[in-house]
């Protein structure tokens, strides 16, 4: 912290505390997910505080947050222990990000896109039925960003994500809408992976078919068009499966 202290000296104490907590959360969470504690006893709060140069209160809060994410378990007389992967909250965007960052996992990308194909086509079909003018405008804006990105005028990754998130929002289904952060987080890895294979960004024409079907209030066409996009991604992943883990 010494090298950058002048950058945050005017920051309110409460904000500084949050930054320290989230910084520690990120460090420990990434260490857990990358298996650094697989053959080691998880440190006590006092040991963590000393290792990272933070207060016990910051350490306690970070451990509490990691426990809520399913990565840790704290029990009286047993101390704090790392939980198995099956206990992790995969819908938590931090956990998903750490998992995707630790190693390019073909299996994890496939599983994520299997979730997408179960959700996004139905979200698109719902959007075709219930989307309002504001929703359609957001979908149009996402598609326009994708078109601009093809000419180097926008970020292809962010534009693609904006399009898919706009459709989830347009579904009006609160469960689908709450998946937007998960979809955004995982798409960052998935899109980079598939773009490297294809040597180009997403197929704007195929995405336009989804937009057109939603605007035409045709749920079946919207469902089919979205399924085709994700099916193409799954096909690319399956082709690369032997070269995976």
Residue 92 maps to a domain: no
**Helix, strand or coil for residue 72?**
strand
Residue 190 — very low, low, confident or very high, per pLDDT cuts 50/70/90? confident
Q: What is the pLDDT of residue 87?
A: 95
Assess whether 226 and 183 both reside in one domain. Answer: yes
Assess whether 80 and 116 both reside in one domain. Answer: no
Host domain of residue 63: 2-87
Q: What is the pLDDT of residue 8?
A: 32
What would the mean pLDDT of 85-114 be, rounded to a whole number? 86
Assess whether 232 and 113 both reside in one domain. Answer: yes
Tens digit of pLDDT for each residue in 121-153? 999 999 999 999 999 999 999 999 999 999 999
What would the mean pLDDT of 60-76 be, rounded to a whole number? 93
Give the other-Cβ count within 10 Å of 140's Cβ: 15
Higher pLDDT, 22 or 243: 22
- Which of 37, 54, 87 terminates a domain? The answer is 87
Question: What are the φ and ψ backbone dihedral angles of 80, each rounded to 5 degrees?
Answer: -100, 130
pLDDT at 113 over 80: yes
Residue 207 maps to a domain: yes
Distance CA(208)–CA(146), nearest Å, equals 10
Torsion of CA 74, 96, 237, 208, to 10 degrees: 150
Task: Answer whether 192's CB lies under 8 Å from 157's CB.
Answer: yes
Residue 16 — very low, low, confident or very high, per pLDDT cuts 50/70/90? very low
pLDDT at 6 over 60: no
């Amino acid at each position: 912290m010494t090298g950058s202290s002048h950058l945050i000296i005017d920051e309110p104490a409460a904000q500084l505390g949050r930054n320290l907590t989230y910084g520690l959360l990120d460090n420990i969470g990434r260490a857990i997910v990358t298996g650094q504690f697989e053959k080691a006893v998880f440190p006590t709060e006092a040991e963590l505080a000393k290792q990272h140069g933070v207060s016990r209160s910051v350490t306690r809060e970070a451990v509490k947050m990691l426990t809520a994410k399913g990565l840790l378990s704290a029990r009286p007389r047993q101390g704090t222990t790392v939980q198995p992967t099956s206990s992790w909250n995969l819908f938590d965007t931090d956990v998903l990000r750490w998992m995707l960052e630790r190693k390019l996992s073909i299996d994890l990308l496939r599983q994520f896109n299997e979730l997408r194909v179960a959700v996004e086509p139905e979200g698109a079909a719902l959007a075709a039925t219930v989307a309002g003018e504001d929703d359609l405008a957001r979908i149009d804006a996402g598609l326009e960003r994708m078109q601009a990105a093809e000419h180097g005028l926008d970020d292809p990754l962010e534009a693609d994500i904006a399009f898919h998130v706009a459709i989830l929002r347009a579904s009006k289904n609160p469960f689908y809408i709450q998946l937007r952060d998960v979809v955004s987080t995982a798409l960052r890895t998935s899109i980079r992976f598939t773009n490297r294979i294809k040597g180009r960004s997403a197929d704007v024409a195929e995405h336009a078919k989804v937009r057109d079907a939603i605007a035409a209030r045709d749920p079946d066409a919207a469902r089919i068009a979205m399924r085709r996009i994700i099916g193409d991604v799954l096909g690319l992943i399956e082709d690369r499966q032997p070269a995976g883990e």
